[in-house]
Amino acid sequence: MAERIHNKAKGSKAGSGADKRTAKPAGAPSARTKAAHPKQQQQGKPQTSQRNLKSTYRQQNPANKPAASAENVKSGDRIIVTIKRIGINGEGVGYYRRKAVFIDGALPNEVVKAKVIKVEPGYLNGEIIEIEKRSPQRQEPPCPVYGICGGCQLQHMTYEAQLQAKEEIVRESFQRYARLQDIPLRPIFGMDNPWGYRNKAQLQAGREGEDIIAGLYAAGSHRLIDISGCPIQHPVVNHVIERVKEVMEELQIPVYNERTREGAIRTIVARVGQATGKVQLTFITSTDRLPDSKRLVEKIRERLPMVITVAQNIHKGKSPLVFGNKTVILWGEEQLEESLGDVRFALSPRAFFQLNPDQTVKLYNAVQEAAGLSGSELVVDAYCGTGTIGLWLAPFAQEVRGIELIPEAVLDARDNAKSSGVANAHFYEGRAEQLLPDWVSRGIRPDVVVVDPPRTGCERPLLDAIVKSKPKRLVYVSCNPATLAKDCQVLLNGGYHLEWVQPVDMFPQTSHVECLLLMVRK
């Protein structure tokens, strides 16, 4: 994992997972083909033998000189690799003559014959030809499109092994980026049932022959893969998507064609409230008008009584963002009621909310433990979003101040505070690295700072502002162990001590791992 990140091209974000490797679907049956005979080389040059399938790929010349280095490996060559661990993107990581090799679908302790598909100065990418030694942790993926749609990376691995691998990903990140060889790592919070947990689906609409499908684009392509029966989606969400496709077929609602840029419906978004079982349904369209919207709403109401909102979001541009700026409620309630513990939320179609509520409660309980509140503290929640963490902590603090750059999120946070009857949480629009020093200059110094940044981590000016404001406790929630470890190193140098790290498996069957850590001022 770490080696691959280290050797990415300059300018890319460490651990972002943006680099896509071409490989056969993870967990799919491997083609057991015999190695081809080596091509004859010109006299005096080494010739390659592929008959020896032991732990190294030997290269010999007529004079029986020692094997060549890994630097001579070319795309298309066959190599034998022992897999050491799982990388940050779910790939198997091994070494060929001390050079890192990344192989999708390979598991720790497996010995695989692989074809080299990419050669970089610091690493190789390979695809499995044959698994010579199979891991007992390997299992048959239950999803028929696993490895094609790209949504999951670890279905071919037992769940217990997934949890172990994710702990190792966190440990490796801190060893590499924070130079901490032995971190106070707590056991990961897993799920009793690691399936059917996602409360929201946003699927691209398209056609496969004459049929309407809803799904994701295969990695590195414009081929749409239907995943409307996805096993990690909530069953109610899957049911709604299936019935909606049927209604669209009956009414001949035109779906958007990416190639011709014709049609109306681009994306179908369904979100279920865990507490109520009610569903918010949104059609994202490339046009101002949704054809036959009246009959569409009527049939949805007839067949899907759990749907309480049918909305249209208009997205005409070529932006990679899913939603456009304008949303119209075609029928029903403007917001979906949801709750986490005692905190209530009113979610508009565009509002962000955690996708796995059960694991979110575990995460927020750990945040509360880390904050160590007695009722007299001022808590600053940077990157507060719609206020979920701040509102969770508010009953245990004297005051919570949330900071968020996106105006709509600030308004949602204020609405959520009202819905929950929370009077001691206040939310501010702006940048934390500017507001925090301003408050400190006016004598408003936080006792606890909580940060939950995007994958790229905290901006350096914010880390500097935190160090200068000297809160007693810092609680850092992260969706990227690599950037978490890098930021941790900055805070260690700024006078903080790492107390503990808690991984949380927010998205089973994927390579994603959430973490939070507690740092205290020395």
* Catalytic positions, written as ranges: 479
In 206-290, alpha helices (H): 235-251
Is-contact 106 95, C-beta < 8 A?
Answer: no
Neighbours of 496 (CB within 10 A): 21
Question: What is the SS3 assignment for 482-512?
Answer: HHHHHHHHHHHHCCEEEEEEEEECCCCCCCC
Strand partners of residue 205: 214
d(CA 241, CA 178): 44
Q: What is the largest CA-CA distance in the chain?
A: 84
The edge-to-edge listing of strands for the beta sheet with 378-382 is 425-429, 399-404, 378-382, 448-451, 473-478, 514-521, 496-504
In 290-356, alpha helices (H): 293-303
d(CA 289, CA 40): 66
Angle at 255 between CA 288 and CA 337, to 5 degrees: 65
Is-contact 109 83, C-beta < 8 A?
Answer: yes
Is-contact 86 93, C-beta < 8 A?
Answer: yes
